[in-house]
A and B are shown apart, each in its own frame.
Chain A
Amino acid sequence: MNPAFPHRQSAHCESGVAANLFTFHGVPVSEAMVFGIGGGLFFAHFPFLRINGFPLTTFRAAPGRILRRAAKRLGIDIRFRTFRDADEGMAELDRNLEKSTPVGAQTGVYWLPYFPPALRFHFNAHNLVVVGKEGDSYRISDPVFPEPVSCRADDLARARFARGKLAPRGKIYFVRNVPAKIDPAPAVTAAIREVCFLMTRLPIPLIGVRGIRYLAGQVASWPSRLGRQGALPHLANLIRMQEEIGTGGGGFRFIYAAFLQEAAAVLEDDRLLGISREMTAIGDRWRDFAAAGASRCKGRDDGNGDFESLARIVRECADREHALFRELGSLVRGGRHAGGK
């Protein structure tokens, strides 16, 4: 049992788990910092990749990427393991807990009994930290819950070995080594540069700012292509992806804005504060989009809800994010923050 594990509730599971794990191992970082250094902000819309029959839209980096990138940029040695056999996977978890090592785990949410029933979908990229074992149940620091929770061993085993898309295959991870001294500045610079590159410079029309523009066109065309009956579920699903459990309206934009504030202090550059303010304003526009779209779904059309005007909000977000990432990129490129990988 590990009473010392610093459980802090977070907006997003992966960045929250990473921040809590790193803090436990003597690298005190906030969730926003990990999210930023892990290059968490992203956008992609893949109409041909279907999740439950709906196009895949994501507002953040692919699962696992934030943790890996953040650890790598901070020089933290983290070991990942997956298992074919559930018993072996649980035994390895126990071996680490006996050494008082908190263990991160990727799980599905469907089989976790402490989740509210309304959130239990087959979503397999959830993250949590197992901090101890008491008899037949595990003590778990789940970052989207306010307090640590308990979970029976067979429930946890099921969640770790859930099947379907993004199956976790019992994946666990733990910190093996942290460097004696960490200089966050190069990590922050490299991470900002990566996000700017992915958002504005990839020649793929489905990713980054171009992906947002593409999505705007899709939204505008849904009523004519899918009919009203088809368009509304697509819209509802898009809003769900944007609001993904616990991240709030345009949530990832706000987390990134919080990161930019911290980055301003790390890099001693107040220009980042202005960019953070603009990021916040863009997040608010994403929120407006969700609100207008949701009232459209509810049939409470207050004039703001037809699909063309919804698409206009998305297009505005694209334009503003484009300008923002170009400016942000020019701040960290070549200039005095250079030197980070």
Chain B
Amino acid sequence: MRRKDVPQDKSLFGEMKEIRYAVDDEGRYVLVESAGWEPANIANNEAWKSIDSAVEAVLAKARAGELSPLAYHMARNQMDPRMLADYAGLFPWQVRRHMKPGPFRRMRRALLFRYAAIFRITAEEFRSVPGNRA
């Protein structure tokens, strides 16, 4: 890549610039700031689109009462039951169980606070999903 070809496409991450390696007119490598590159933006956008649509789907189910708020907060934090179980010091099957509304309601208070702390929200926020009270 030549220095003049270093892409300066507006990226997803605002003002932050990244470093790229490119050759100058004498063929020597130099470090050049780049604002971003459209193909990389497209690929990253695809990833966010699939995360967003997964969160939307879980949110709809949580509002309909098919899944608990925990399932929503987990999806919003890009976690799966295994990762969340690791954070919470539980077994994955326990987390999966708490994704159901019934077991979620019967959860111990201490555990509820533990989950809320992992997601960095209050217990009140943890018990609900946006646009609906669980």
- 18 A-B pairs in the complex with CB atoms less than 8 angstroms apart: A118-B12, A118-B13, A118-B44, A118-B48, A119-B13, A163-B83, A164-B86, A237-B46, A239-B40, A240-B44, A240-B47, A243-B43, A248-B21, A249-B39, A251-B20, A251-B21, A280-B1, A293-B43
Residue of A nearest to B34 (CB): A248
Shortest CB-to-CB span from A264 to chain B, Å, is 11
On A, residues with C-beta under 8 Å from B are 9-11, 32, 110, 116, 118-119, 121-122, 144-146, 163-164, 167, 232-233, 236-237, 239-240, 243, 245-249, 251, 254-255, 257-258, 261, 273, 276-277, 280, 283-284, 287, 290-291, 293-295, 297-298
Chain A residues whose CB sits within 8 angstroms of the CB of B44 once the complex forms: 118, 240
Chain B residues whose CB sits within 8 angstroms of the CB of A32 once the complex forms: 21, 29
Is there contact, CB below 8 Å, between B29 and A258? yes
Shortest CB-to-CB span from A24 to chain B, Å, is 19
How far is A32 from B14 in the complex, measured between Cα atoms in Å? Answer: 27
Is there contact, CB below 8 Å, between A145 and B16? yes
On B, residues with C-beta under 8 Å from A are 1, 6-7, 12-14, 16-23, 27-29, 31, 33-34, 37-40, 42-44, 46-48, 50, 77-79, 82-83, 86-87
How far is A137 from B19 in the complex, measured between Cα atoms in Å? Answer: 26
Is there contact, CB below 8 Å, between B20 and A254? yes
Is there contact, CB below 8 Å, between B14 and A258? no
Number of A-B residue pairs having CB atoms within 8 Å of each other in the complex: 119
Q: Does more than half of chain B's interface fall in helix, strand or loop, or is it mixed? A: mixed
Residue of A nearest to B19 (CB): A11
Chain A residues whose CB sits within 8 angstroms of the CB of B87 once the complex forms: 163
Chain A residues whose CB sits within 8 angstroms of the CB of B6 once the complex forms: 248
Shortest CB-to-CB span from B35 to chain A, Å, is 12
Shortest CB-to-CB span from A107 to chain B, Å, is 15
- Our pick among B14, B43, B82 for the contact of A294 (Cβ within 8 Å) is B43
Is there contact, CB below 8 Å, between B39 and A10? no
- Our pick among A167, A236, A248, A261 for the contact of B1 (Cβ within 8 Å) is A248
Is there contact, CB below 8 Å, between A10 and B48? no
Chain B residues whose CB sits within 8 angstroms of the CB of A276 once the complex forms: 29
Is there contact, CB below 8 Å, between A294 and B38? yes
Shortest CB-to-CB span from B31 to chain A, Å, is 8
Shortest CB-to-CB span from B38 to chain A, Å, is 7
Shortest CB-to-CB span from A246 to chain B, Å, is 4
Is there contact, CB below 8 Å, between A121 and B1? no
- Most chain-A CB neighbours within 10 Å: which of B28, B31, B39? B39
Shortest CB-to-CB span from B92 to chain A, Å, is 12
How far is A110 from B7 in the complex, measured between Cα atoms in Å? Answer: 26
**Given A249-B40, A258-B21, list of 17 further CB < 8 A pairs?**
A11-B19, A11-B20, A110-B78, A116-B16, A118-B48, A119-B13, A122-B78, A122-B79, A164-B83, A164-B86, A240-B43, A243-B39, A243-B43, A245-B18, A248-B18, A248-B20, A293-B39
